[in-house]
Amino acid sequence: MGNLRANLSRTDRALRLALGIACIAAALAGGVGGHAALALFLFAWVPIVTGLAGWCPLYVLFGVSTRRL
């Protein structure tokens, strides 16, 4: 299995959470509709979950970490 240690800094986590919340807010605000709103809702879970977990599988794949050890 992969490396499941946290690889996101506090700033990275905060930005991901803000992005996820912004996607949900944009979809709910009515500025976008139909498929675009659905896409925002479906995309929003990715930055929210990775931000809450503090771990990004793509960072592991590419050997990146923004977290200081």
Interval 34-66: pLDDT, tens = 899 999 999 999 999 999 999 999 999 999 999
**b/e per residue, 32-60, with b = 16+ CB within 10 A?**
eeeeebeebeeebeebbebbeebbbeebe
pLDDT band at 69 (very low <50, low <70, confident <90, very high): confident
Q: What angle do CA 57, 42, 18 make, to 5 degrees?
A: 70
What is the pTM for the complete model shown? Answer: 0.85
Instruction: List pLDDT tens digits, range 2-34.
Output: 567 899 999 999 999 999 999 999 989 987 888
Separation between Cα atoms, residue 38 and residue 28, nearest integer Å: 10
